A and B are shown apart, each in its own frame.
Chain A
Amino acid sequence: MESKPIVDVHNLTAGYRRRPAIWNLDFQIQEGKFTGILGPNGSGKSTLLKCLLGQITPYTGYAHLWGQNVDKVRHRIAYVPQKESVDWNFPATVMDVVLMGRYRPGRFWQRLGKKDKEAALYWLEQTGMNHLANRQIGQLSGGQRQRVFLARALAREPSLLFLDEPFAGVDAGSAERILHMLKLLIEQGKSIVMVHHDLVSAGKILDNAILLNTRLVASGPVSEVFNHENLSATYGSDLSILSDVIDLVTRNPGRFKDPRNQKS
């Protein structure tokens, strides 16, 4: 049975500082699947993720979740950023960080209650971090930091979970635990979209893959898209004309933006 698309990306071009990093992407992501976004460094993986999360406005096209703008469905998603994106000397305990996941748009003035603390504790237990609840976050190892981030995201009880390279700089034990949690989510019918760089493990853990190298190379079930032709197109360098055009766009003094994409 064909499942419904949960992410719909149409003709999406986006980037930073006028430099497009992804070019005319078209793909859909199915509900209830474990989907990976794969590509070499600089292939636009992070830009794509930022578009999906509404952190940057595309130059052309759109990325919709459940057929709507992401701002309308934020209560149904959660995000696990790269652990390098924050300052781990920040004055906060593990518990404080997981409680951050209980923030809800539209009720931010309400203080957290008993229910929120129970939920945070539950997810700390699930990620095997409850014994460290009162530890300062700076004292955690790389794998433990990632588990705290996962617990924080899951405390939002999302239907769709985004992760940015969750296995980078993580010890084997933590990686196994994280993967186990992610598989449980899929079993419960949730959907996962993950930026990933390791092809070998990707083949084993993912249902679907989106192969990216500035433009879309292929998207679909791993068994279909993982072939020599696609992989060499993803990781090879046959894009000299496209990158020349991107340079042109970057240097051009005009505004490279579809006038229909007004929101910033």
Chain B
Amino acid sequence: MDLSNAVWVFIGCSLSGLLTALTGIPMYLRRQSLAGDALAHALLPGVCLGIWLSGYRDHWLVYLAGTGTGLLSIALINAIQKRSKIPEDGATGISLVLFFGLGLALLSSMQRAGFGNSGVQHLIMGKAAAMLPSEVYVLGGLFILALILAWLLFRPLWLFCFDPEFAQSSGMPMRQTEWFLNLWVALVVTASIRSIGMVLTAALLITPAAIGHFLSFKPKYMIGISMLSAGFSGALAAWWSAYQPGISTGAAMVVLLSLFAFFVLLAWPNLGYLSRYWISQLEKKRWIQENILKELWKARGLSDQELAFRCGISDAKSLRIKRSMVQQGLIDKEKGSWTLSRLGQEKASSVVRRHRLWESYLHERLNLPADHLHDNAEIVEHLLTDELESRLEAILSKPEQDPHQSQIPYKKS
């Protein structure tokens, strides 16, 4: 195909994102995020060796040797763990630095031997501007294969990641599955080196999966979100590097993806930290409003100070909230004292009714003494739904009074 270099870069980076995101999901779910990092680093000596031997950077020897040293590093981690008391993270650390060090040594001697202009210096950080069409074909082929495998093996793999004990007892070939996954990761990372670079591949294996998991617990949505976020950051990174040729695409992808991850964690509607904080503030305000209504319902003509005191808030805050309640048409000020509007009256009696019904329930059904009821009902009165309220009415058969002999205000019907 005769496409301009920028288009190849664009396709290549998007494919790298989609592919690494999909590949990283099992690693993330098995809590092996660090192993992905180690594997990516361990490809370096193999890839260097492949380039040295073949003289090309898109030769099949490069993929073979890269995958080979990647798998070797996993084998080393397993062996160290099995034959010594060094724990998994320790073994992973040892293997990572060993292989990466070997790779760096090879790399520097290759640069001295005149490989400097064949792009080996970009293996570590990635530079998609130098991407060859053949490398994009490999990425595309792997991506199609990944989609087919994911479609076929989605359920067994999900079981393998969720509950290895049950999977084993059901007869799943555990070791073969594990090596198959490792082999796949090694292949994908080798193919993505051109666009992302090995140091940052780990970020693209893990961050998309984390975003997907944060936003959805449904497997298919999680997978879709992961792939989309990584694919988009790949595409954007390619575009960015087209305008600013100095920038490495791998770094650009990781920066964009991480920014998106931060945005999601902070501000995603309903789930992000700020959104949840905002929702909890709204909820707090609703509780205070309901308490004000309730206190006014119980004792008309309360002074401002007395009302604020009974609701446990400062005078200033009480004033602010009352102003907003006037705007909502819940309360009014008549002759210097607060009164409830009809709407306010209705809401207030609902809160009191729920409070007293709940006290009756605790007293009758949980046999709690009278002095244990109030604090609990102070919370539950704000939470009960209409449906729960009518169920309470039914099982208590509409009591006239609560356990403290106060009248329960029912709706007039």
In contact, A79 and B162 (Cβ under 8 angstroms): no
- Min CB–CB distance B184 → chain A (angstroms): 15
Name the contact of A81 in the complex, choosing from B158, B161, B163, B212 (C-beta under 8 A). Answer: B163
Kindly report which residue of chain B lies nearest to residue A93, judged by CB atoms.
B218
Name the contact of A90 in the complex, choosing from B29, B167, B168 (C-beta under 8 A). Answer: B29
In contact, B172 and A105 (Cβ under 8 angstroms): yes
Cβ-based interface call for B364 (8 A): no
Residues of A within 8 A of B218 (CB): 91, 93
Q: Which of A106-114, A185-193, A242-250 contacts B (4 or more CB under 8 A)?
A: A106-114
The 5 closest A-B pairs by CB, nearest first: A105-B171, A74-B171, A79-B169, A136-B217, A100-B159
Chain A residues in the interface with B (C-beta under 8 A) = 53-55, 71, 74-75, 77-79, 81, 85-87, 90-93, 96-97, 99-101, 103-106, 108-109, 111-112, 136-138, 152-153, 156, 162
- What are 16 inter-chain pairs, A to B, with CB distance below 8 A? A54-B168, A54-B169, A55-B165, A74-B169, A78-B170, A79-B170, A81-B166, A87-B31, A91-B213, A91-B218, A100-B155, A100-B158, A101-B170, A103-B159, A106-B171, A156-B170
Whether A91 touches B219, Cβ cut-off 8 Å, given contacts A85-B165, A100-B162, A103-B156, is yes
Main secondary structure of the interface of B (DSSP, over half): helix
Complex CA–CA separation, A105 to B168 (angstroms)? 10
- Min CB–CB distance B412 → chain A (angstroms): 35
- Min CB–CB distance A155 → chain B (angstroms): 11
Interface size grouping (class) on chain B: 20 to 34
Residues of B within 8 A of A85 (CB): 163, 165
Chain B residues in the interface with A (C-beta under 8 A) = 29, 31, 151-153, 155-156, 158-159, 161-163, 165-173, 212-213, 216-219, 222
Kindly report which residue of chain A lies nearest to residue B177, judged by CB atoms.
A108
In contact, B217 and A138 (Cβ under 8 angstroms): yes
Kindly report which residue of chain A lies nearest to residue B169, judged by CB atoms.
A79
Complex CA–CA separation, A92 to B219 (angstroms)? 6
In contact, A96 and B165 (Cβ under 8 angstroms): no
Residues of A within 8 A of B155 (CB): 99-100, 103, 111-112
- Min CB–CB distance B220 → chain A (angstroms): 10
- Min CB–CB distance B18 → chain A (angstroms): 19
Kindly report which residue of chain B lies nearest to residue A86, judged by CB atoms.
B163
Name the contact of B166 in the complex, choosing from A90, A138, A152 (C-beta under 8 A). Answer: A152
Residues of A within 8 A of B213 (CB): 91
Complex CA–CA separation, A79 to B216 (angstroms)? 29
In contact, A77 and B169 (Cβ under 8 angstroms): yes
Residues of A within 8 A of B152 (CB): 109, 111
Complex CA–CA separation, A65 to B162 (angstroms)? 26
Residues of B within 8 A of A103 (CB): 155-156, 159, 167, 170, 172
- Min CB–CB distance A168 → chain B (angstroms): 16
Complex CA–CA separation, A152 to B169 (angstroms)? 13
